[in-house]
């Protein structure tokens, strides 16, 4: 998908903000930064390296492999930036950092302060999150908290990638937008202390440290996740493996965090095991709605489970967790990725909208992460991101479908609305009115 245009980035964002006056302009900027990637000047990197760093919590989410980050940006850039104020009066907008040297979006230092520039034009002030106290501690065996239990969403979510690889392996099986296995390899090669499997006891120890140090109780939820397990991992199937973490956490820290898992669409008996382990929110990600694209872009999931069965299991899960607590993710933008995707933005939106209608009519609320073509994934090797017009249209479509079905905001993402949302890898929470009720957990 080409992004070639004679318009400046600001022209395009402003045109779309006029076309979608009901979508907060900050949300359109956020989508553009997420799909495009962001750069940091040397001065900005120097300042950023004193704040909460990028943890590479599961995928790379960068537009360059580490080998192409010649200034060591992967070790010096922050996990997230909060955009606020500036000439456009930004309401606070939290954005995950996806690195792209040379991006039109540049964080630089002006008059001693961090600022976001778009093709040289200042748009907002940049705030960084202080390094939390728990990041300064390690487990007894020396493993860092940044690896064992990093937090994202400005500290709201503890992200527990307990298995750093995926058993969908190679071109025939891996989801074509995903770089989990390649990212594991590049991080290990770069010397980051990535662990393939984290022990349950290590996770408990890391959470103990967070619980002790996070006295303001900023962390409100945890997610247990990792790659798919098609056979066995350490003698356990997928549900048995991941449920063991939830069971142990919820027994040790009852009620401390909202409990979420991101695993495959699993059969009913497996879901009962998760529920019995104390899991409250289930994310069986369907990635893309269109049946043809699902089979091409998620070949492993299609072969082992099948798209029809996947969808049935998502729907059945509502009986176990409650519809509002089943929140399947899709990767916004891959609908248009070459060579298999839709040619026209309106067709991609129509397809995605059909999926939203299907699930939301049942009280299930899909949410999305914004696709950033990772160069180590199959789809990201030789193409840029999806046009911003798709992402702006999707924000409206998602919100309108939610509102038409009178659904609350999904639980486990913090507060909705511009100025408040902390979910950082897409702008769906930013696009909701601030008075949108959130489903109770
Ligand atoms: S199931 Fe697909 S998206 Fe998930 S980790 Fe495996 S390859 Fe990546």
Q: What is the largest CA-CA distance in the chain?
A: 59
Atom of ligand 1 nearest to the CA of 58: 5
Q: DSSP character for 136? A: G
174 lines ligand 1 (CB under 6 A): yes
Angle between helices 238-252 and 268-276 (to 10 degrees): 20
Distance CA(19)–CA(16), nearest Å, equals 5
Give CA 121 to chain center in angstroms: 28
Output Rg (C-alpha) for the chain, integer angstroms. 20
- Tell me what pLDDT residue 123 has: 97
**Environment class of 235 (CB within 10 Å of its CB; exposed 0-12, middle 13-18, buried 19+):** exposed
Minimum mean pLDDT range among 167-171, 182-186, 407-411: 167-171
Overall average pLDDT of the 86-101 stretch: 98
Residue of minimum CA distance from atom 1 in ligand 1: 228
The answer to whether 141 and 75 are in contact (CB under 8 A) is: no
Residue of minimum CA distance from atom 4 in ligand 1: 227
Helix (H) or strand (E) holding 331: strand 329-332
Beta bridge partners of 255: none
Mutating to test ligand 1, I would choose from 161, 162, 175 the residue with most ligand atoms within 8 A of its C-beta, which is 175
Whether the pLDDT of residue 1 is over 80: the answer is no
322 lines ligand 1 (CB under 6 A): no
pLDDT digit string, tens, across residues 276-332: 999 999 999 999 999 999 999 999 999 999 999 999 999 999 999 999 999 999 999
If you measure from the C-alpha of residue 180 to the centroid of ligand 1, how many angstroms do you get, rounded to a whole number? 7
Query: How would residue 17 be classed by pLDDT, with cut points 50, 70 and 90?
Result: very high
Whether the pLDDT of residue 170 is over 90: the answer is no
pLDDT digit string, tens, across residues 122-150: 999 999 999 999 999 999 999 999 999 99
Atom of ligand 1 nearest to the CA of 177: 3
If you measure from the C-alpha of residue 176 to the centroid of ligand 1, how many angstroms do you get, rounded to a whole number? 9
pLDDT digit string, tens, across residues 248-263: 999 999 999 999 999 9
The answer to whether the bond into 339 is cis (omega within 30° of 0) is: yes
- Tell me what pLDDT residue 171 has: 82
166 lines ligand 1 (CB under 6 A): yes
Whether the pLDDT of residue 4 is over 60: the answer is no
- What percent of the chain clears pLDDT 70, i.e. is strictly above it? 99
For the chain, the first-to-last Cα distance in angstroms comes to 39
- Judged by phi (left if over 0) then psi (alpha if -120 to 50, else beta), residue 141 lies in alpha
Mutating to test ligand 1, I would choose from 58, 162, 173, 174 the residue with most ligand atoms within 8 A of its C-beta, which is 174
297 lines ligand 1 (CB under 6 A): no
If you measure from the C-alpha of residue 229 to the centroid of ligand 1, how many angstroms do you get, rounded to a whole number? 10
Atom of ligand 1 nearest to the CA of 264: 1
- Tell me what pLDDT residue 215 has: 97
Where in the chain are the domains? 37-127, 133-370
Average pLDDT of every residue of the chain: 97
- What percent of the chain clears pLDDT 90, i.e. is strictly above it? 97
Distance CA(396)–CA(374), nearest Å, equals 26
pLDDT digit string, tens, across residues 372-393: 999 999 999 999 999 999 999 9
379 lines ligand 1 (CB under 6 A): no
Mutating to test ligand 1, I would choose from 166, 184, 261, 262 the residue with most ligand atoms within 8 A of its C-beta, which is 166
Distance CA(132)–CA(137), nearest Å, equals 10
- Tell me what pLDDT residue 6 has: 78
**Superfamily name with CATH number, domain 133-370:** Aldolase class I (3.20.20.70)
pLDDT digit string, tens, across residues 187-213: 999 999 999 999 999 999 999 999 999
The answer to whether the bond into 22 is cis (omega within 30° of 0) is: no
User: 350: closest CA among 418, 296, 289?
Assistant: 289
Whether the pLDDT of residue 56 is over 60: the answer is yes
- Tell me what pLDDT residue 2 has: 46
262 lines ligand 1 (CB under 6 A): no
305 lines ligand 1 (CB under 6 A): no
- Tell me what pLDDT residue 5 has: 56
């Amino acid at each position: 998908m080409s992004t070639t245009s004679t318009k400046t980035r600001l022209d395009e964002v402003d045109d779309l903000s006029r076309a979608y006056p009901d979508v907060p302009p900050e949300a359109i900027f956020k989508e553009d930064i997420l799909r495009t990637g962001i750069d940091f000047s040397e001065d900005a990197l120097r300042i950023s390296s004193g704040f909460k760093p990028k943890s590479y919590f599961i995928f790379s989410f960068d537009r360059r492999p580490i080998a192409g980050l010649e200034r060591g940006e992967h070790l010096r850039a922050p996990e997230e930036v909060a955009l606020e104020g500036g000439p456009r009066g930004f309401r606070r907008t939290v954005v995950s950092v996806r690195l792209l040297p040379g991006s039109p979006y540049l964080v630089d230092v002006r008059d001693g302060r961090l600022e976001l520039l778009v093709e040289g034009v200042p748009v907002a002030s940049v705030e960084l999150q202080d390094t939390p106290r728990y990041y300064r501690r390690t487990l007894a065996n020396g493993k860092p908290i940044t690896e064992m239990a990093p937090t994202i969403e400005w500290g709201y979510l503890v992200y527990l990638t307990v298995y750093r690889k995926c058993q969908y392996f190679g071109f025939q099986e891996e989801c074509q937008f995903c770089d989990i296995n390649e990212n594991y390899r590049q991080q290990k090669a770069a010397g980051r202390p990535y662990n393939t499997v984290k022990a349950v006891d290590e996770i408990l120890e890391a959470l103990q440290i967070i619980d002790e140090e996070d006295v303001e109780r900023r962390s409100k939820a945890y997610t247990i996740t990792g790659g798919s397990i098609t056979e066995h991992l350490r003698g356990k199937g997928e549900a048995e493996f991941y449920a063991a973490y939830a069971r142990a956490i919820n027994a040790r820290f009852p009620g401390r965090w909202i409990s979420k898992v991101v695993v495959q669409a699993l059969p009913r008996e497996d879901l009962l095991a998760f529920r019995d382990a104390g899991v409250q929110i289930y994310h069986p990600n369907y990635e893309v709605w269109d049946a043809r694209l699902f089979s091409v872009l998620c070949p492993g999931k299609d072969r082992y489970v099948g798209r029809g069965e996947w969808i049935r299991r998502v729907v059945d899960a509502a009986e176990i967790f409650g519809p509002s607590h089943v929140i399947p993710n899709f990767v916004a933008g891959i609908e248009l990725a070459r060579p298999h995707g839709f040619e026209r933005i309106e067709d991609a939106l129509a397809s995605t909208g059909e999926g939203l209608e299907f699930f939301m009519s049942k009280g299930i609320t899909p949410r999305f992460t914004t696709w950033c073509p990772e160069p180590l994934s199959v789809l990201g090797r030789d193409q840029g991101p999806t046009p911003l017009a798709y992402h702006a249209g999707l924000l409206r479509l998602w919100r309108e479908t939610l509102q038409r079905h009178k659904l609350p905001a999904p639980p486990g993402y913090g507060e909705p609305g511009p100025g408040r949302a902390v979910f950082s890898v897409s702008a769906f929470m930013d696009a909701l009115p601030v008075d949108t009720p959130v489903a109770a957990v």
